[in-house]
Amino acid sequence: MNLKENLQFDKEHLWHPYAALKNTPARFLAKEAHGTTIETADGLHLIDAVSSWWCMAHGHNAPEIVEAIQKQSEKMCHVMFGGFTHEPAIELGEKLVNFLPQGLNRIFFADSGSIAVECAAKMAVQYQYAMGHPEKSKLVALKGGYHGDTAGAMALSDPDGMHVLFREIMPHHYFAERPNCRVDEPWDDTDFVSMEQTVAEHLHEIAAVICEPVFQGGNGMWLYNAGYLKRLRKLCDRYGILLILDEIASGFFRTGPRFAMEHAGILPDIMCIGKALTGGSITMAACVASEMVAETITNSKISAFMHGPTYMANPLACAAGIASLSLFENRDYPSAVKRIEARLKQNLAPLRSLENTADVRVCGAIGVLELKAKPSSDDILKVIRETGVWLRPFCNYVYTMPPLVTTEAEIDRICEAMKRIGECEPLPVVDGDDEFHE
């Protein structure tokens, strides 16, 4: 099939994320991707300014990762993790124990971020059960949060976000207001009142609090003050409830430090990692518990943790994870992210004065241009073609989360493309039309 026929088949038969079949905007056919660049079948070379949905930390097809996958594939692509273990899982486990914040060292390998979140919620409930509190089976989450697309993870994401349609099939949890205090402003104690009240009011049924530390990604690209997390840790300790930090987007240097929790100097009881774990090469995530949580579950009547995906600890993904962690260990990403942050701040600050700008925010290798109204997808595509920069705005958020290997010259080009989108004619604002889909 030629390019046109390929794209036509795709439109008719293949569902894409948050997209309709058929009446969907034009799509690019990706042919190859290396470093920061994706090459399309019609000859474009696009800088991947969103790291292919935030996972491609080392750039596309890092040779170290490709080689690790190739080598492992010659020996064993997969084996069930029930009844077997294998060296790639053990080696990745060892590397993670060294790389993760101290004390977080009981690892459950999951096959995607959403599944890691499901596991975290189940672990929290199983922990409370083991503590003699079977009635504690609800979580508190934050408005404006995003934790994934499976039922359990949807139920913890913003209750008014893109999943409202499925409200009836989701378990019910409680929500506190989104922290309003910005990452770059002084902490204000009143910001914590909603969380304090929500937990106090429902304490008898609450197992844990879950949130994305500092960076709320998929539901609003919001960057909030780490002071919130310090208060949250104290609150959870006071009431004997667990703190789950979802570092799937914020982990692996994205906000500056290895993990965003380091901005607050706190540790969770359970954390979720994913996305950049394998450097964007193969799907893999993990739910990691503290020794205390793991021991409590293990010493209880139901000592097994009741979860077990078919592809758990897939050896190819583990091999990719090992190679990816070596890169995270050996490269000076903290300095690279500092350079990216400075460049983003310098380039994006002037965009505050655009007529259609609602807000500009930067933290680490995250730059967000929030618009008052979004432009048409045709206009966005035109900017992408003309600038050679791949951006994927959603709702009113035009953002970049570039690979951590992106050069300053490339950051300049990315920011120029964001500016061009900010200057496009905005569509009329229709009430209730918060579109998450294409």
Which stretches of the chain bind ligand PLP, using CB under 6 A? Answer: 112-114, 117, 146-148, 212, 217-218, 246, 248-249, 274-275, 285
Give yes or no for a contact between 267 and 261, defined as CB atoms under 8 angstroms apart: yes
Quick check: is 18 catalytic?
yes
Q: For residues 38 and 285, which CB has a smaller minimum distance to ligand PLP in the complex?
A: 285
What is the strand order of the sheet 138-142 is part of?
104-110, 285-290, 270-273, 242-246, 206-211, 138-142, 174-176
Q: Which residues are annotated as a binding site?
A: 53, 113-114, 146, 246, 275, 308-310, 392
Do β-strands 45-48 and 37-40 pair in parallel, antiparallel, or remain unpaired? antiparallel
Instruction: Write the DSSP string, 42-97.
Output: TS-EEEETTHHHHT-TT-BT-HHHHHHHHHHHHH-S---SSS---HHHHHHHHHHH
- Which member of 127, 129, 146, 333 is catalytic? 146
316 vs 351, beta carbon nearer ligand PLP: 316
Is 333 noted as a catalytic residue in this protein?
Answer: no
Cβ 112 to ligand PLP, closest distance in Å?
4
Task: Between 247 and 410, name the residue whose CB sits nearer to ligand PLP.
Answer: 247
> Which of the 8 DSSP states describes residue 357?
E
Which among 18, 372, 378, 434 is annotated as catalytic? 18
Residue from 275, 374, 397, 399 carrying the catalytic annotation: 275
CA distance 419 to 357: 10
Min dist CB 145 to ligand PLP, Å, is 8
Residue with Cβ nearer ligand PLP (285 or 424): 285
Q: Which of 41, 45, 46 is nearest to 3 (CA)?
A: 41
Q: 357-363 and 270-273 as β-strands: parallel, antiparallel, unpaired?
A: unpaired
Phi, psi of 35 (to 5 degrees): 60, -130
Residues 361, 216: Cα–Cα separation, whole Å: 12
List of residues 6+ apart from 81 with CB closer than 8 A:
89, 109, 308, 312, 313
Catalytic hit among 48, 158, 246, 269:
246
CB of 327 to ligand PLP, least distance (A): 20
Q: Closest CB to ligand PLP belongs to which residue?
A: 113
Nearest approach in angstroms of CB 116 to ligand PLP is 7
**112 or 387: whose CB is closer to ligand PLP?**
112
Query: Pairing mode, if any, of strands 389-390 and 45-48?
Result: parallel
Residue positions in the annotated binding site for substrate?
A: 53, 146, 275, 308, 392
Binding residues for pyridoxal 5'-phosphate: 113-114, 246, 309-310
Name the token pair of 286: 């993990």
In angstroms, give the least distance from the CB of 51 to ligand PLP: 12
Q: Which residues are catalytic?
A: 18, 146, 246, 275
